[in-house]
């Protein structure tokens, strides 16, 4: 009988959870992206030229970075609307900075990151320190940042250093700079999620109370998730300025909804605790690629939104179905 | 011997609610000290204060003679105080090893430690505390409640250098052997243990002294050898409890059959026939993992059967959801095991939680009227003797016993005639137990039928008009009321050929 009892209650060892980890990893969205890429290449064979690949990566990069930032906050169970404000603000600040050349680009990067981190820290303080609801707090900072952006630059314009516009959107030794940045972010995340800070981020998202009782500093974890997010939004704005070679006080607006869409598409749970930055990167890339595919197919841009939304629902359903299948296999 | 912990005039207030109004106690080095008290007496608050979750409003704490005022769990751990929480504080999707080592899992200074190495260290810790059957690389959400509880306790043990706080450590454990040997080892090293449990027999076995709390104050500290159970109860409740009485309900085979199952299978349940008559309370007994959970969930509509039939009110029924079960005449209502996760809305008031059932079944288009809600709730609350003053409280702020009353009141509210209760009196105090028992008897007297599982044998013996014993997913025995005894149930629960041992208790 003892044997039977032990069998009936024996915990699953590593084999099955690995399958689960796989289902919840970035693999699914990478597959979806690959399928989409095949479709794209078949309708537009010129998409395989180095120039086209470089352009695609450049177009995708700002949204990918913004989605990566949003993921930090969503993973701990929070919400951050300030993305639109931070991107607009950073974007116009770069456009009015009177600097040039590689050093100017570096200065721009420094200023951009400082703004992003500062606004992120304010968000973190409001939410983790003062216990203001995340949606309300980040909505407020978003509005403040957008207002500030309008004060700095009333209409699109300004100047972006040539180094950013040409070198940062080009290739080094045949490798697009955008790809290098993406790989760097993936590497950073793979490392970060294995640190205590990264583990705590996911733990807080899974069960805030248990995490707190386990000794995790929940407030600190929340705070830094907003700081990370701010830094990534700033990076997104920086690359957006490089790509558009101009500044606009409303540059961040499209990012608000699209970054959430990208995170959802990547399979990161909005309750927190499940998902990752890599998946969000591919979610964002998939969204951008989807637009390209529809354009190549000659679909009127009026329909793009409708079809994008539908494909998103399908993708999320598909991911849920796979997860469900894996779970029922574990039970059976 | 010197006290490792001394507590003087400790008080804590949450808003207008006074949780602790003056607690004095001392725990000696190497002593296991019990804290006894009804739910709501202040035990949980005391635990939170000692472990650094909340800070006291008044009074003083000292640890080894030095002032002790932890600002956080980490703070408390640094000073050698750690807690195994009743509500279990494990992060579900992390491995056992990671949970054991939280919040500083990785030892790597410049590079995160590999998972393999973390798991190795976790395994060493598990070995150190004689946990051999739980793999360090298992994910916590795959573990049974009993296994999680042992991990929770092991983690607390690994941090306890001066004081170990155990809050209901045996609530989910099948036996106390492992726990007690670990406690003895800790006390041998001079660690003081604060032990909270509702099970007096185990308190007597492991603890030397006990401090009794009532209404947030310490009533006194007694040596357990010098006082009998009745004496302890009277300290806890302020009056002697009435003598234990058995259910007077007689099984009436002629009574209407409200529910039947035929070869019901699913989960660990491998085929059970049972019938539930109006006016009877049918107990279900079994060791951990014999299919009782599946049986109750199946009948309650919370799980889909793998085969067999459920016949409700004479007609074959498909109970695809608890809601469907509730609407299948004469109505089945299921009160699950984990009230925190499976039934209660922490942030709604008690009244809203109770009246929810009425609004959920009554109709979709009705607006919720606050006064109607309160009125409705009050009637049901009376039947489970929930004091009306709690109706306006958020349920999350009520004690465990009162939360359970709220759930039962809601179940009654539905007007269903079949109650399915999973361990309805688990982890609640003596007083609440009695009012739950009374409610159950009253319900059956009015022509309802109850199917309930309990992890406590005396409860089954006291309440059941007959008792079904599950073993390995099947009915091992059906014990009629006149033959009910703890020994009889224990024997049946072990299947055939084995004799019950004394220290083995029933477990969830």
- Name the residue ranges covered by the structural domains of chain A: 50-278
What is the distance between the alpha carbons of residues A221 and B508, in angstroms, rounded to a whole number? 35
User: B274-278, B346-350, B367-371, B464-468: lowest mean pLDDT where?
Assistant: B367-371
Beta bridge partners of B477: B469
Nearest residue of chain A to residue B85 (CA atoms): A213
Reading the block at residue A253, the tokens are: 């607006």
Contact B93 A273 (CB under 8 A): yes
**Which among A285, A298, A51, A47 has a CA at the least distance from the CA of A182?**
A285
Select the more confidently predicted residue: B134 or B365.
B134
Instruction: State the pLDDT confidence band at A94, using cuts at 50, 70 and 90.
Output: very high
**Which among A137, A76, A114 has a CA at the least distance from the CA of A235?**
A114
For residue A202, the chain B residues in CB contact (below 8 A) are 93-94
**Which among A42, A26, A68 has a CA at the least distance from the CA of A284?**
A68
Mean pLDDT, range A180-205, rounded to an integer = 93
Choose among A6, A199, A215: nearest Cβ to B74.
A215
Contact B133 A6 (CB under 8 A): yes
CATH of B3-93+139-237, one of 1.10.287.1770, 3.60.20.10, 3.40.50.360, 3.40.50.300: 3.40.50.300
For the cut 70, the answer to whether the pLDDT of residue A105 exceeds it is yes
For the cut 80, the answer to whether the pLDDT of residue B234 exceeds it is no
Question: Using one digit for the tens of pLDDT, what is the confidence trace for A153-164?
Answer: 989 988 999 899
Nearest residue of chain B to residue A2 (CA atoms): B494
What is the distance between the alpha carbons of residues B22 and B11, in angstroms, rounded to a whole number? 5
Most confident residue range from A27-31, A114-118, A275-279 = A114-118
Question: Using one digit for the tens of pLDDT, what is the confidence trace for B312-328?
Answer: 988 888 888 888 888 88
Q: What's residue B142's pLDDT? A: 87
Question: Using one digit for the tens of pLDDT, what is the confidence trace for B82-98?
Answer: 999 988 889 988 999 99
Query: Predicted ipTM?
Result: 0.81
Q: What's residue B368's pLDDT? A: 64
Q: What's residue B16's pLDDT? A: 67
Contact A210 B91 (CB under 8 A): yes
Q: What's residue B250's pLDDT? A: 63
Q: Exposure string (b/e) for B45-72, b if CB count within 10 Å is 16 or more?
A: bbbbbbbbbeebeebebbbbeeebebee
Domain B244-331+416-508 fold: Rossmann fold (3.40.50)
What is the distance between the alpha carbons of residues B95 and B90, in angstroms, rounded to a whole number? 10
Mean pLDDT, range B197-219, rounded to an integer = 87
Instruction: State the pLDDT confidence band at A330, using cuts at 50, 70 and 90.
Output: low
Cα atoms in the 13 Å half-sphere on the side-chain side of B251? 19
Select the more confidently predicted residue: B111 or B253.
B111
For the cut 80, the answer to whether the pLDDT of residue A300 exceeds it is yes
Q: What's residue B251's pLDDT? A: 59
Q: Say if A6 is an interface residue toward chain B (CB within 8 Å).
A: yes
Instruction: State the pLDDT confidence band at B500, using cuts at 50, 70 and 90.
Output: very low
Q: Which of residues 8-27 of A touch B (CB under 8 A)?
A: 8-14, 16-17, 20
Choose among A1, A5, A191: nearest Cβ to B112.
A191
Contact A17 B112 (CB under 8 A): no
Question: A168: which residues sit within 8 A by CB, 6+ positions away?
Answer: A105, A177, A239, A242
Looking at every residue in chain B, the average pLDDT score rounds to: 84
Reading the block at residue A57, the tokens are: 């990566």
Contact A12 B138 (CB under 8 A): yes
Q: Which DSSP state fits B369?
A: P
Mean pLDDT, range B275-279, rounded to an integer = 90
B contact test, residue of A202, A207, A214, A332 with most B CBs within 10 A: A214
- C-alpha distances in Å from residue B156, one per residue of B72, B84, B92, B164: 15, 5, 17, 7
Contact A255, A84 (CB under 8 A): yes
For the cut 90, the answer to whether the pLDDT of residue B363 exceeds it is no
Q: Say if A3 is an interface residue toward chain B (CB within 8 Å).
A: no
Choose among B77, B135, B288: nearest Cβ to A215.
B77
Q: Note every long-range contact of B105-111, with CB atoms under 8 Å and residues 24 or more positions apart, other chains counting.
A: B105/A196, B105/A199, B106/A194, B106/A195, B106/A196, B106/A199
Q: What's residue B39's pLDDT? A: 63
Reading the block at residue A315, the tokens are: 């993708």
Select the more confidently predicted residue: B416 or A308.
B416
Q: What's residue B62's pLDDT? A: 93
Residue B15 exposed, middle or buried by CB count within 10 Å (0-12, 13-18, 19+)? exposed
For the cut 60, the answer to whether the pLDDT of residue A181 exceeds it is yes
For the cut 80, the answer to whether the pLDDT of residue A81 exceeds it is yes
Choose among B72, B104, B288: nearest Cβ to A9.
B288
Domain boundaries, chain B: 3-93+139-237, 244-331+416-508, 346-415
For the cut 80, the answer to whether the pLDDT of residue B242 exceeds it is no
For residue B495, the chain A residues in CB contact (below 8 A) are 1
Beta bridge partners of B333: B419
Contact A8 B99 (CB under 8 A): no
For the cut 80, the answer to whether the pLDDT of residue B241 exceeds it is no
User: B23-27, B218-222, B228-232, B263-267: lowest mean pLDDT where?
Assistant: B228-232
């Amino acid at each position: 009988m003892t044997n039977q009892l032990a069998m009936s209650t024996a915990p699953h060892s590593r084999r099955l959870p690995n399958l689960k980890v796989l289902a919840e990893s970035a693999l699914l969205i990478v597959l979806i992206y690959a399928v989409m890429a095949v479709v794209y290449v078949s309708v537009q064979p010129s998409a395989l030229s180095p120039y086209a690949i470089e352009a695609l990566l450049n177009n995708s990069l700002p949204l990918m970075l913004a989605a990566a930032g949003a993921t930090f906050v969503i993973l701990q169970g929070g919400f951050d609307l300030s993305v639109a404000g931070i991107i607009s603000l950073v974007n116009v600040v770069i456009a009015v900075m009177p600097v040039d050349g590689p050093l100017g680009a570096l200065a721009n990067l420094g200023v951009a990151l400082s703004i992003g981190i500062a606004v992120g820290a304010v968000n973190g303080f409001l939410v983790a320190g003062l216990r203001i609801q995340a949606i309300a707090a980040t909505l407020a900072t978003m509005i403040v940042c957008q207002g500030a952006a309008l004060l700095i630059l009333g209409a699109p314009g300004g100047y972006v250093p040539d180094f950013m516009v040409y070198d940062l959107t080009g290739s080094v030794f045949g490798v697009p700079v955008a790809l290098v940045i993406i790989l760097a972010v993936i590497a950073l995340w793979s490392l970060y999620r294995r640190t205590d800070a990264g583990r705590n981020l996911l733990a807080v998202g899974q069960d805030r109370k248990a995490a707190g009782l386990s000794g995790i500093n929940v407030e600190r974890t929340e705070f830094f998730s907003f700081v990370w997010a701010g830094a990534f939004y700033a990076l997104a704005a920086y690359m957006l300025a490089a790509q558009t070679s101009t500044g606009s006080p409303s540059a961040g607006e499209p990012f608000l909804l699209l970054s959430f869409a990208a995170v959802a598409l990547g399979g990161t749970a909005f309750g927190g605790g499940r998902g990752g930055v890599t998946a969000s990167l591919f979610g964002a890339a998939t969204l951008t690629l989807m637009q390209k595919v529809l354009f190549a197919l000659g679909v009127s841009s009026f329909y793009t939104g409708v079809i994008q939304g539908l494909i998103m629902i399908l993708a999320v359903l598909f991911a849920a179905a796979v997860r469900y299948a894996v779970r029922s296999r574990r039970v059976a | 011997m010197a006290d490792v912990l001394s507590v003087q005039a400790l008080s804590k207030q949450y808003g207008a609610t006074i949780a602790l109004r003056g607690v004095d106690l001392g725990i000696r080095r190497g002593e296991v000290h019990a804290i006894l008290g009804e739910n709501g007496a202040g035990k949980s608050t005391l635990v939170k204060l000692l472990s650094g979750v909340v800070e006291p409003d008044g009074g003083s704490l000292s640890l080894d003679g030095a002032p002790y005022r932890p600002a956080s769990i980490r703070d408390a751990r640094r000073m050698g105080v750690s807690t195994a929480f009743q509500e279990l504080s494990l992060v579900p999707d992390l491995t056992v090893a990671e949970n054991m080592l939280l919040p500083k899992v990785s030892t790597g200074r410049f590079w995160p430690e590999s998972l393999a190495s973390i798991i190795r260290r976790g395994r060493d810790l598990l070995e150190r505390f004689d946990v051999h059957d739980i793999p360090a690389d298992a994910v916590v959400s795959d573990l049974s409640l009993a296994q999680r509880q042992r991990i929770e306790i092991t983690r607390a043990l690994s941090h306890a250098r001066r004081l170990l706080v155990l809050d209901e450590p045996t609530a989910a454990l099948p036996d106390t052997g492992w726990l007690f040997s670990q406690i003895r080892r800790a006390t041998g090293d001079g660690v003081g243990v604060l032990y909270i449990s509702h099970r007096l027999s185990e308190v007597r076995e492991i603890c030397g002294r006990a401090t009794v709390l009532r209404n947030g104050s310490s009533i006194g500290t007694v040596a357990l050898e010098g006082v009998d159970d009745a004496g302890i109860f009277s300290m806890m409740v302020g009056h002697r409890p009435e003598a234990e009485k058995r259910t007077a309900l007689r099984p009436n085979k002629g009574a209407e059959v409200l529910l039947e199952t035929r070869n019901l299978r699913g989960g660990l349940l491998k085929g059970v026939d049972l019938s539930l008559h109006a006016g009877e309370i049918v107990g279900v007994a079994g060791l951990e993992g014999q299919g009782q959970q599946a049986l109750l969930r199946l009948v309650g509509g919370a799980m889909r059967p793998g085969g067999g039939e459920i016949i409700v009110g004479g007609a074959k029924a498909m109970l695809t959801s608890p809601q469907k079960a509730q609407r299948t005449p004469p109505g089945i209502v299921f009160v699950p095991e984990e009230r925190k996760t499976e039934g209660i809305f922490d942030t709604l008031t008690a009244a809203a939680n109770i009246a929810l059932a009425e609004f959920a079944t009554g109709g979709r288009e009705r607006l919720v009227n606050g006064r109607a809600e309160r009125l409705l709730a009050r009637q049901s609350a009376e039947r489970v003797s929930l004091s009306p003053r709690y109706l306006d409280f958020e349920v999350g702020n009520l004690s465990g016993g009162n939360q359970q009353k709220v759930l039962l009141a809601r179940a009654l509210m539905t007007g269903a005639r079949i109650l399915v209760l999973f361990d309805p009196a688990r982890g609640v105090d003596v007083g609440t137990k009695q009012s739950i028992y009374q409610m159950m008897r009253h319900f059956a007297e009015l022509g309802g039928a109850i199917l309930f599982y309990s992890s406590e044998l005396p409860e089954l013996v006291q309440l059941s008009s007959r008792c079904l014993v599950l073993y390995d997913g099947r009915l091992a025995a059906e014990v009629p009321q006149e033959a009910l005894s703890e020994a009889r149930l224990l024997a049946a629960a072990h299947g055939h050929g084995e004799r019950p041992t004394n220290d083995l208790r029933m477990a969830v």
